[in-house]
């Protein structure tokens, strides 16, 4: 397993990040434990979760599963760089969501309890809160860092200008600020190339792409259907809407002699600003099957072909749309 620094920090994390969103809703606890054990065995030390995962308001189902896994001991917690998130609704009262200082304080205590740990390695704001000033947010985060409850702070689903405002506010307070941005980024969803990736590069943030396989569409869905696997109604609709593009995609992957999922991940990993795409395996086979992406290097001809199949926004702003 390759490891790299997370953004401008000295923290070493694996080039693949284990996403836990399926733990609970789709993957039973014992299977979730097996996947996490296997991830550590493979050298994957970077795990991502969120207080809302499990989708039962206030329960933090997935965090609890990870916490019970940590509680088994055996160095599990010590070997893992755990990332979780704050913003989502954790109750019905007015201050049980978003990024007020009050909610940040309540949310971190809840996550620490569910995760059965005394600190969170990377605490990510799950979404920008346009109603809370950065002075308030950073003051709350500074307290948590000072208490040792949080080591690093990251963002998720931020625009480029949100990152710039956050970092400039942090600099004024002599605070380290953001170290990472977790964004929707894959071959089909490339909007972040306009301003988010340049902002991350300029401010020293590592990019953590979520949905790197476009919700499964880049994982060879056409071939799987041909082999008799049934897609959900929603997935079937998405496949038909994108069939011409997917046919070209899977045909090109066959030409390369590579699995589509591996090509999709390798394409993301080519950019130095990308720290680790989030893989969300439901089974052990899906986990171990992701490792080929780390070895796969795409040449200029392959990258050009992928741009033809999945045209991006044209590069960085403003050159992408102006001179």
pLDDT at 190 over 90: yes
pLDDT of residue 251: 97
Known catalytic membership, residue 152? no
Which CATH number characterizes residue 279's domain? 3.20.20.100
**Rounded to the nearest 5°, which phi and psi values hold at 278?**
-90, 120
Could you read off the pLDDT of 243-297 as tens digits, one per residue? 999 999 999 999 999 999 999 999 999 999 999 999 998 889 889 888 999 999 9
Does residue 228 lie in a domain region? no
Does residue 244 lie in a domain region? no
pLDDT of residue 120: 98
Q: How many domains does the chain have?
A: 1
Could you read off the pLDDT of 140-180 as tens digits, one per residue? 999 999 999 999 999 999 999 999 999 999 999 999 999 99
Cβ–Cβ < 8 Å for 188, 214:
yes
Does residue 180 lie in a domain region? yes
pLDDT of residue 36: 98
pLDDT at 224 over 90: no
pLDDT of residue 242: 95
pLDDT at 228 over 80: no
Does residue 176 lie in a domain region? yes
pLDDT at 225 over 90: no
* Joined tokens for residue 259: 């699995």
pLDDT of residue 283: 86
Does residue 72 lie in a domain region? yes
pLDDT of residue 311: 97
- Distance CA(247)–CA(243), nearest Å, equals 6
How many other CB atoms are there within 10 angstroms of residue 186's CB atom?
A: 22
pLDDT at 230 over 90: no
pLDDT of residue 213: 97
Q: How confident is the model at residue 42 (pLDDT cuts 50, 70, 90)?
A: very high
Does residue 203 lie in a domain region? yes
pLDDT at 46 over 80: yes
pLDDT of residue 233: 87
Mean pLDDT value across residues 185-196? 98
- Can you tell me which residue has the tokens 């060879």? 220
Catalytically annotated residue among 53, 123, 185, 203:
53
Could you read off the pLDDT of 90-148 as tens digits, one per residue? 999 999 999 999 999 999 999 999 999 999 999 999 999 999 999 999 999 999 999 99
Does residue 31 lie in a domain region? yes
Q: In terms of residue numbers, what domain contains 126?
A: 3-216+260-299
pLDDT at 305 over 90: yes
- Can you tell me which residue has the tokens 């000033």? 133
14 sits in which H/E element: strand 12-14
Does residue 232 lie in a domain region? no
Helix %, strand %, coil % of the chain (to 5): 45, 15, 40
């Amino acid at each position: 397993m390759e490891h790299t620094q997370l953004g401008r920090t000295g923290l070493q994390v694996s080039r693949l990040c284990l996403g836990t969103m399926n733990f609970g809703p789709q993957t039973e606890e014992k299977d979730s434990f097996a996947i996490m054990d296997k991830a550590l065995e493979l050298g994957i030390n970077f795990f991502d979760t969120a207080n809302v995962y499990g989708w039962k308001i206030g329960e933090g189902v997935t965090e609890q599963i990870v916490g019970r896994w940590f509680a088994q001991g055996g160095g599990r917690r010590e070997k893992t760089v755990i990332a979780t998130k704050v913003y989502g609704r954790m109750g019905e009262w007015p201050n049980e969501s978003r990024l007020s200082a009050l909610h940040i304080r309540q949310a971190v205590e809840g996550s620490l309890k569910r995760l059965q740990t005394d600190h969170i390695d990377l605490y990510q704001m799950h979404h920008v809160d346009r109603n809370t000033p950065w002075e308030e947010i950073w003051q709350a985060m500074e307290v948590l860092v000072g208490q040792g409850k949080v080591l690093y702070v990251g963002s998720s689903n931020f625009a480029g200008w949100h990152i710039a405002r956050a970092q400039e506010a942090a600099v004024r307070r002599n605070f380290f600020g953001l170290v990472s941005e977790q964004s929707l980024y894959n071959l089909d969803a490339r909007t972040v190339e306009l301003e988010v990736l340049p902002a991350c590069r300029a401010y020293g943030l590592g990019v953590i792409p979520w949905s790197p396989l476009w919700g499964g569409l880049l994982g060879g869905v056409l071939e799987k259907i041909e082999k008799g696997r049934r897609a959900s109604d929603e997935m079937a609709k998405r496949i038909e809407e994108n069939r011409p593009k997917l046919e070209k995609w899977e045909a090109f992957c066959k030409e390369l002699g590579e699995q589509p999922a591996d090509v999709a991940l390798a394409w993301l990993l080519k950019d130095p600003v990308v720290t680790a795409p989030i893989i969300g395996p439901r089974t052990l086979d899906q986990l171990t099957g992701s490792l080929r992406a780390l070895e796969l290097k795409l040449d200029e001809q392959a990258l050009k072909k992928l741009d033809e199949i999945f045209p991006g926004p044209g590069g960085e702003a403003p050159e992408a749309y102006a001179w």
